Structure 1
Amino acid sequence: MAERLTVPSTEFQTRAGLYMEHAAKAPVFITKHRRPVRVLIDIEEYERLKARDTRQAYYAHELPDEVVRALEASDTSHIDPALDALMD
């Protein structure tokens, strides 16, 4: 695998085609004011990473029954009661 590349955003804009080709082999880190702001990766790598992401967000009324049961059975005695005041 090729070595990762870091490039300023203005340089990326000028030579995007070159960096798209490089991203097929290794990530291209795009910086703005010397700080990383984006990463260009190959689509196959993106799909592989997305497939591993199993996180899911729910509204409280949408929680699966097994999650509700786990929450009901959990020990919350160690939680600061002052946090309850934030919910009022």
Structure 2
Amino acid sequence: MAVVKVWGRGQLTIPASLRKELLVDEETVLNVVKVGDALILTPKKLVGDTLAKKAQKAMEKAGLSLEDLLKDLEKQRERYNRERYGA
């Protein structure tokens, strides 16, 4: 894993080996996405929209709504907390 230091006005240097492998040069524009406490840099088009559309189609096919998923998520959290912490 490469380690970089942020300097100046938030700048960082991507190691040369990674730039070469990913075909990133000084003209490359990167997308920066915050995921939790992490930043993801990608020179490629993000596939979030494509994944969201696939998920939506799968949900519709299964007859599920977003509310159904959120209710199930809450149940899973409660179960996890019970098993993990006895709460």
TM-score (norm 2): 0.25
Q: Using CA pairs under 8 Å that are at least 6 residues apart, name the structure with larger relative contact order, 1 or 2.
A: 1
Query: Would you tell me which structure has more strand in proportion to its own residues?
Result: 1
TM-score (norm 1): 0.25
Larger of the two Rg values belongs to structure = 1
